[in-house]
Amino acid sequence: MGIAIIWIMMFHLPFRPNMPIVNDIMDIGYGGVDLFLFLSGFGLYFSLSKKNTDLAQYYKKRFCRILPEFWLFLIVTYVVSMNFDIHSFWNLICQATTIGYWVPNVPYTLWYISCILFFYAIFPVYFKLFKKYGFKIPILIEIAGFILIIIYAWVMIFYFNNTNKGRDLILTIARIPIFFIGTIAGYWVKNAIDIKITRKKIAFALLIFTGSIILLEYFLHFCRDYLWTCALYFLPFIIIAPILSIIIAIVMDKIPKSISSLFAKIGSISLELYIVHEYLYQKLIHNLTNEFGTYISIFTVIALSFILAIILYKINKILLQRIFKKVLNL
């Protein structure tokens, strides 16, 4: 998760160095979201697999982790904007409730918050069906997810002349398969399923992994805007994200513990970094660039993102979550 959020922060940077390989890595940094959702599905399966898990407690804990600091961030940015008219207040309500993401022509921000809350909300139903009917459920969802993506792409391409009518909803639609693949991985690990790793399986995994990267590179250089609008640009990460997660885990086992611990600490504040960094990029980086140059502005905003993310994390842990837990009887 630490690597995923750093990758996302690189992707959101409004500047690119004159280095083709680095540029390509930054340009596909949206894949960090796929890593997040794969790991979220993985972790949620573990969470609900615990004995005597209370559904009300599940929802309280999940929403309590995200909403208090999300709401604090929205309130702070609302006050900083110094715009307190009715329209601005309506924007705040739409963002705080996340309905702005789902309803056309309504303002919203931080689409990932709406996306992950949606997956949190539907997961218990999916989990019960999975436990009752087995792999039929995730397979059906995967098929349905692919069909939904293809239908969406077909409508955007042929009916709307490849104009994005779904706004950022495509960012959630395209991630349906990877989230539920994460739950399958969670099932395998939680139940200690014995999967024999043979050379043929490793070779096949690396082959499709490499093929997906090549396909992604082709998308990136020859038809990025066209495929992004209709959501097809995200599909290679359905294969890349799970295999990349395994590769990262293997590498993290081999490197010095101090380095892996650093990434783990960054991962622990990944939500806060997501909430803070994009706002700072939009509000500060161009002004700082005009004053101090590109690299100083980038370093300053990234450093400030980490500082504010840590502060937000501490406020949430020490104050906000305690208040919410007391109110919700957690």
- Please indicate, yes or no, whether the overall pTM of this predicted structure exceeds 0.95: no
Q: What would the two tokens of residue 117 be?
A: 């809350």
- For residues 296-312, give the mean pLDDT: 93
User: What is the Cα–Cα distance from 128 to 126, expressed in whole angstroms?
Assistant: 6
164 Rama class: left (phi>0) / alpha (psi -120 to 50) / beta: beta
Nearest to 113 by CA among 56, 171, 59: 171
pLDDT band at 330 (very low <50, low <70, confident <90, very high): low
26 CB neighbour count, 10 Å cutoff: 18
Q: What's the confidence (pLDDT) of residue 115?
A: 92
Residue the block writes with tokens 């070779």: 203
Q: What's the confidence (pLDDT) of residue 277?
A: 92
User: What is the Cα–Cα distance from 168 to 173, expressed in whole angstroms?
Assistant: 9
**Residue scoring higher pLDDT (218 or 197):** 218
* Burial class of 277 by CB neighbour count within 10 A (0 to 12, 13 to 18, 19+): buried
Cβ atoms of 88 and 78 closer than 8 Å: yes
Q: What would the two tokens of residue 16 be?
A: 């690119």
Kindly report, residue by residue over 38-93, the tens digit of the pLDDT. 999 999 998 888 877 788 888 888 888 898 899 999 999 888 887 888 888 888 89
User: What is the Cα–Cα distance from 37 to 145, expressed in whole angstroms?
Assistant: 14
Cβ neighbors of 41 (< 8 A, separation 6 or more) are 119, 123, 178, 179, 180, 181, 182, 183, 185, 186
Kindly report, residue by residue over 141-170, the tens digit of the pLDDT. 989 888 888 888 888 888 888 777 777 888
Q: What's the confidence (pLDDT) of residue 239?
A: 92
Kindly report, residue by residue over 86-136, the tens digit of the pLDDT. 888 888 898 899 888 888 777 777 899 999 999 999 999 999 999 889 888
User: What is the Cα–Cα distance from 8 to 330, expressed in whole angstroms?
Assistant: 32
pLDDT band at 230 (very low <50, low <70, confident <90, very high): confident
**Start-end of H helices in 1-135:** 2-12, 20-27, 31-49, 55-81, 86-96, 99-102, 111-133
Residue type, 302: I
Kindly report, residue by residue over 209-223, the tens digit of the pLDDT. 999 999 988 888 888
pLDDT band at 208 (very low <50, low <70, confident <90, very high): very high
**Residue 264, pLDDT above cutoff 90:** yes
**Residue 294, pLDDT above cutoff 90:** no
Q: What's the confidence (pLDDT) of residue 173?
A: 87
Instruction: Indicate the helix (H) or strand (E) that contains 239.
Output: helix 237-254
- For residues 195-204, give the mean pLDDT: 83
Q: What's the confidence (pLDDT) of residue 191?
A: 81
Q: Nearest 10 degrees: CA dihedral of 174, 65, 122, 58?
A: 150
- For residues 17-45, give the mean pLDDT: 91
Crossing angle for the helix pair 199-222 and 20-27, nearest 10 degrees? 100
Q: What would the two tokens of residue 170 be?
A: 């495509």
